[in-house]
Structure 1
């Protein structure tokens, strides 16, 4: 049973937290912040990946320019020697070279055949390299550009872009991880902020409920932080001070009026008693005097009730209170007002 009660309380607190204005505000801020971070990370990825791709294309274009100039100076033999020299310096590097005849018969380079991929308008080819990598059992992506030399020879210069693709994938994973961490931290911050705001609001609500129950002396506790909640609490406390002062003034006025009127009513009743006694001595009808005395007693009871209500409202005079049966009280009320209801063609019923 205690565990069930704890579960109900936890569910209630969670429900209140999720439906609170502060949590919705924090969630909206988190979503807006997450979208901003996502756009920023997307821009970083786009600019980084685009820069790396442009740099690789620029390197390939520079190599083509250099090789074509060497071909113009030293001819076919000089071009073959340059290609073989570069490949011998980095046999496992990422550079790709292929020099072929007009019918694409390989002359020099580290490719055994011309790629089957069609080149785009600018002469760029994207194709797969078989038997790549250190173990020669991997398939890598490659990007190259073709160039036709004088004499009908074809020159293909490119790069193994596996490392570039892997770097871009790492950047994507890092950006996704950063975005996830941002969302988690934003959620934690939103929950902490919502709980803090709810705690302050609950303190105000608790004090308000106590005031509603009649304790006008209660005040909202200030934390002296100088924030908006302290300002709100200060204004509410000032308002409650004013209300309590006005209520106290009304109570004092009512008390004074009841006291001032009760004394002359008591004198009036005493004189009516004397009048009735005099009428009885002279054998006169004392009915009018008795009715006046009854009316005076009713007025005195009314003023006594007003004085008692004023004392009760101060919450300091409850020593005469006792428990009552509400069912019996309601039955008495029904019996009192039932004849009046029957006169008006109405009916009263009690369900308890």
Structure 2
């Protein structure tokens, strides 16, 4: 029997469609989560830089730059100073203190690359700039730590997406094979029926799902079809049995008529008998056909109400003596 290819089967296509929808939903939710995480990390960095700027400017007193310069130099000697930017410049843009010379930036938060401030790197810094007396202070932190967190999150999402796609594909194939195996059972049963094995039935899984309900309906139809075919076989046997005797009598009558005809004897009575036998054969044949049609449900339109009480009274009267 020809089996449908798995990739052409409806269960596999449905499983594939649901798998793709699930993967698409996961990717969309992952993208939204990644963007939210990135925004939160950037917000936390901005808050940290703003606080660091406020702490640094707290060391400044009007007409007293020594504490501010000392604090900036101390921050510049910190082990993580390469991840931070401290720049105090005079109105002419000359560095007074710090580990970088930052060009004039607008007040507030801004992003700047390491090369723009004379550092040999491609790191991006998030900085806060503002006036301190006649001078200008810029404080910032690099985005390397934030980028590391983003890379970890992106790498994790990528691996989860790959595993999700793999599980969806494997699960879709397994579910499709199970559903296709049951559909193949339906096809095999119908092939058996078409080949004359009327006792074949679709196997049920017992889960009472939609395929089981469909299989039950098909099995019921096959059962009715089997009974109908068996009834037709029985009708054929009955016709052959009931017509055998009158056909033999008709044959003998015709043979007698042929013999009389050869002897020049009258054959009218034999012809009349032959006509009567043929009428009886036709009546018997029509009766058997009516019975078979009634059993098959094909003559119910000609049914009429019957007086069962009168019928039973007639039967009782006929068989009372017996």
8 Å contact kept, 2:46–2:109: no
Matched, 1:125 2:114: no
Provide the secondary structure at the position in 2 that maps to 1:59. Answer: helix
- Aligned twin of 1:349: none
Which is further off, 140-149 or 33-42?
140-149
Matched, 1:63 2:52: yes
Matched, 1:50 2:39: yes
Matched, 1:114 2:102: yes
8 Å contact kept, 1:123–1:147: no
- Aligned twin of 1:104: 93
Instruction: Please list the CA deviations of residues 3-56 of structure 1 after superposition, one character each: whole Å capped at 9, or x if unmatched.
Output: xxxxxx9xx97x711111111111111111111000111111111111111000
Extract unaligned runs of 5+ from structure 2: 286-322
TM-score by length of 2: 0.76
Matched, 1:262 2:251: no
Q: 1:119 to 1:203 in 2, by over 3 A?
A: farther
- Aligned twin of 1:166: 148
8 Å contact kept, 2:113–2:122: no
8 Å contact kept, 1:129–1:142: no
TM-score by length of 1: 0.70
- Aligned twin of 1:140: 123
* Structure 1 Cα separation of the partners of residues 111 and 183 of structure 2: 66
Instruction: Please list the CA deviations of residues 122-161 of structure 1 after superposition, one character each: whole Å capped at 9, or x if unmatched.
Output: 44132125999xxx975322221211122x2110100021
List aligned pairs for 1:240-251, cutoff 5 A: 240-251=222-233
* Structure 2 Cα separation of the partners of residues 210 and 247 of structure 1: 15
* Structure 2 Cα separation of the partners of residues 20 and 38 of structure 1: 27
Shift of 1:121: 7.5
Instruction: Please list the CA deviations of residues 234-286 of structure 1 after superposition, one character each: whole Å capped at 9, or x if unmatched.
Output: 22212211111122223223322332223212111111211221222236799
* Structure 1 Cα separation of the partners of residues 121 and 82 of structure 2: 15
Q: 1:234 to 1:121 in 2, by over 3 A?
A: farther
8 Å contact kept, 1:125–1:144: yes
Q: 1:197 to 1:210 in 2, by over 3 A?
A: same
Provide the secondary structure at the position in 1 that maps to 2:150. Answer: helix
State how many pairs are aligned.
Answer: 277
What is the CA RMSD across the aligned residues, in angstroms?
Answer: 3.2
8 Å contact kept, 1:204–1:220: yes
Extract unaligned runs of 5+ from structure 1: 1-8, 304-352
* Structure 2 Cα separation of the partners of residues 196 and 34 of structure 1: 22
- Aligned twin of 1:316: none
8 Å contact kept, 2:111–2:124: no
Which is further off, 44-53 or 228-237?
228-237
* Structure 2 Cα separation of the partners of residues 250 and 155 of structure 1: 106
* Structure 2 Cα separation of the partners of residues 120 and 179 of structure 1: 42
- Aligned twin of 1:211: 193
- Aligned twin of 2:204: 222
* Structure 1 Cα separation of the partners of residues 240 and 62 of structure 2: 124
